[in-house]
Each structure stands twice: as C-alpha cells, then as structure tokens.
Amino acid sequence: MEKIAFAKPERDEVVDRIQRYFLAELDQEIGALEAEMLFDFFAERIGPFYYNQGLHDAQAMFVKSIDDI
C-alpha cells in the first residue's frame, strides 16, 4: 500500500488534536515532535486496518445496492 501523504494544514490539525488529547485525557503535555511521531506511527501501522475496514464496508454497501437493483 502506498504511503498516504497529508497536506500541512491537515497534519498540523491532527498534531494539535493529539496534543490536546494528551493534555485533557492524560494530564500530560507533549511537544509537536512527539505528537507528529505518534501520528506517523498510527498512520503507518494502524491506518491500514482502518483503510481495509473502509474498503470492506464500501464493498458490502456496493453489493447490497446491486442486490437491491
């Protein structure tokens, strides 16, 4: 699977959300570098699971719509 590239504004938004999550839920401040590293980890290692599930869901919806026809 090809690596997914995110535009800088999207990447910045995700990094900000990760930082806010750590502060709100874990009462721990992390820097932008740490948040970016965590984002990269999830995008590279966990993201494919979400991607595959999305494909599976889309295929199931497509099959259902074909069956309805």
Question: pLDDT tens, 6-57?
Answer: 999 999 999 999 999 999 999 999 999 999 999 999 999 999 999 999 999 9
pTM higher than 0.85, yes or no? Answer: no
Decide: 41 and 49 in contact? Cβ < 8 Å: no
Among 46, 1, 37, which residue's Cα sits nearest to residue 19? 37
pLDDT of residue 3: 77
Confidence band of 1 (pLDDT split at 50, 70, 90)? low
